[in-house]
Amino acid sequence: MQHILFKFAWSGVLLGILFACKPSSRSPENNCVTEDVAAKKMLQGVWLNDDEEEPAFRVVGDTIFYPDSTSQPVYFQIVHDTLMLHSANLAKYIIVKQAPHLFVFKNQNGDAVRCVKTTDKSYLNYFETSRPQALNQGKLIKRDSVVIYGNDRYHWYIQVNPTSYKVAKPTYNDDGVEVDNIYYDNIVHVSLFRGATKLYSRDFRKRDFSQHIPVGVLRQSILSDIVYTGATPKGFHFAANVSVPDSPTSYILNIVIDFQGKASY
């Protein structure tokens, strides 16, 4: 009987440990790490760059807000001497010094960033009037044209549809801190007709080109556009542009729709 009771008691302990270490839905790290609650409390408020006295960030609870209109708010933790930002990537910054009105940390280049706390409430305007905006053209684009090939008349149609699908792209602000910019992806519709007969119709998404693009790049990319490029004996050619916003990284992928309405890409 004592052996059975011991087994049940030990099972309860194990379950308690598992639940205590269960990963948070908000954070990719687990909750077993011990946060410095006092340091987080000390960081509350509005902080300015020490050299320029421009607003750097505002801390409310467990969230850091930035004054610009594109950087997304981010959940943070302070563990030992490390500031941890849980954005698209987990970013860690060594805290050099923290006091009630001084916060010094090293950015991703290893440079020391000095911030001072302000009690001037006018700086709140930088955060109250700025809302993170998703960057995108945000408009419907339609284009079409008639092509005479051989003895037949063809008509292609393209429509770029903005969506609410968000794509997070990590970037660095002026302090060398990683922040997320948010963009909206597109769905692009392509149709091809021979006379009044529909040969092809499809909604393209960026994942349709996943076999040609590295996973890490595709995650940060949007399907920018698809354009018609010409006709050959193989069929009608279109170029899909999958690109990382505000970056030179771009993939141009060839789509060929043959005269039987079969597509390859």
Query: pLDDT tens digits for 214-242?
Result: 998 999 999 999 999 999 999 999 999 99
Residue 118 has pLDDT above 60, yes or no: yes
pLDDT of residue 21: 39
**What is the pLDDT at residue 73?**
87
Is the pTM higher than 0.85?
Answer: no
pLDDT at residue 18, as a whole number: 33
Host H or E run for residue 105: strand 102-106
Per-residue pLDDT reduced to its tens digit, 148-163? 999 999 999 999 999 9
- CB-based contact 59:66 (threshold 8 Å): no
Of 59, 52, 177, 39, residue with least CA distance to 112: 177
47 vs 33: CA distance, rounded Å: 26
Averaged over 62-79, what is the pLDDT?
A: 87
Structure-block tokens of residue 221? 């990319």
Neighbour count for residue 48 (Cβ, 10 Å): 18
pLDDT of residue 4: 38
> What number is the average pLDDT over the span 180-203?
94
CATH match for 33-128 among 3.40.5, 3.30.450, 1.25.40, 2.40.128: 2.40.128
| Tokens 């505002």, located at residue | 58
Average pLDDT of the segment spanning 46-62: 91
Supply the pLDDT for residue 179. 86
> Which pLDDT band, with edges at 50, 70 and 90, does 254 fall under?
very high
In angstroms, how far is CA 179 from the centroid of its own chain?
Answer: 9
What is the DSSP secondary structure assignment for residue 2, as one 8-state letter? Answer: H
The phi-psi region of residue 18 (left if phi > 0; otherwise alpha if psi is between -120 and 50; otherwise beta) is alpha
Note the pLDDT of residue 249.
86
| 90-110: average pLDDT | 93
Q: CATH classification of 141-264 is 3.90.1530.10, yes or no?
A: no
Please provide the average confidence, as pLDDT, over all residues in the chain: 84
Q: What pLDDT does 158 receive?
A: 97
* Count of C-beta atoms within a 10 Å radius of residue 150: 9
Extents of the domains making up the chain: 33-128, 141-264
